[in-house]
């Protein structure tokens, strides 16, 4: 079984409930074993409405989840997109690039799939192409696996976080350690 790290986020609706239900649905998947979830973070969106200050009501709730699975990466991606759809995510027309910053009730990205390097489609790149540039990914990932090495950059998650230049705000929320079981 491969150890897989997922970024899970929401900035529409009941963000906390969306993350809890997503984890519940991940736990219910065949050939997937839930291992852990990071603490919960409230994070500033990357794309803001020009001329307006960021509104924390539209900030994301983010975490990183660790699973183990025997599913192939493409099959896992299909399952994750099914969970997103069940929780209200609608993928509009256009390219991935066009949809990158759309608000969403749920977003699940495969960050790392074992030590594999995959570029199979527009939606499946492992490691995630931008994970090393994003505080909302690296901070919760460092909570779970600071010594994990990026399979292309050959730096640990802690090293990537220490050299990060992302100025977006990422605030750890005061939640119980097992916030996802509440």
Residue-wise pLDDT tens digits, 72-123: 999 999 999 999 988 877 766 554 444 555 677 899 999 999 999 999 888 8
Compute CA 78 distance to the chain's CA centroid, rounded to the nearest angstrom. 15
Could you tell me the CATH number of the domain that includes residue 141?
3.30.70.560
Element (H, E) at 159: helix 157-162
Q: Is 172 a catalytic residue?
A: no
Give the mean pLDDT of 121-126: 90
Which one of 15, 104, 134, 139 is the catalytic residue? 104
Q: Is 171 a catalytic residue?
A: no
Q: Please give the Cα distance from 2 to 122 (Å, whole number).
A: 22
Q: How many domains would you assign to the chain?
A: 1
Which one of 109, 171, 178, 181 is the catalytic residue? 109
User: CA end-to-end span of the chain, whole Å?
Assistant: 28
Read off the tokens for 101. Answer: 């910053």
DSSP 3-state of 21: helix
Q: Is 91 a catalytic residue?
A: no
Print the domain residue range for 42.
2-181
**Which string of b and e fits 125-158 if b means at least 16 CB within 10 Å?**
bbbbeebbebbbbbbbbbbbbeebebeeeeebbe
- For the segment 158-173, what is each residue's pLDDT rounded down to a tens digit? 999 999 999 999 999 9
Give the mean pLDDT of 150-163: 98
Which one of 3, 55, 89, 166 is the catalytic residue? 89
Which pLDDT value is given to residue 58? Answer: 78
Q: Is 115 a catalytic residue?
A: no
Which one of 107, 123, 143, 178 is the catalytic residue? 107
Question: Which pTM was predicted?
Answer: 0.91
């Amino acid at each position: 079984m491969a150890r897989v790290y997922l970024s899970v986020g929401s900035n529409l609706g009941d963000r906390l409930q969306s993350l809890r239900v997503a984890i519940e649905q991940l736990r219910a998947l065949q050939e997937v074993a839930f291992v852990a979830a990071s603490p919960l973070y409230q994070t500033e969106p990357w794309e803001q409405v020009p001329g307006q200050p960021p509104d924390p009501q539209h900030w994301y709730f983010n975490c990183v989840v660790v699973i183990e699975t025997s599913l192939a990466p493409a099959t896992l991606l299909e399952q994750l997109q099914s969970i997103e759809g069940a929780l209200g995510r609608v993928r509009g027309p256009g390219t991935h690039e066009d949809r990158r910053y759309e608000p969403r009730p749920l977003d699940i990205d495969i960050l790392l799939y074992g030590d594999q390097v995959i570029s199979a489609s527009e939606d499946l790149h492992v490691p995630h192409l931008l994970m090393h540039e994003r505080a909302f990914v690296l901070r919760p990932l460092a909570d779970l696996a600071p010594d994990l090495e990026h399979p292309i950059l050959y730096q640990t998650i802690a090293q990537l976080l220490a050299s990060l230049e992302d100025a977006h705000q990422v605030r750890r929320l005061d939640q119980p350690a097992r916030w996802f079981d509440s």
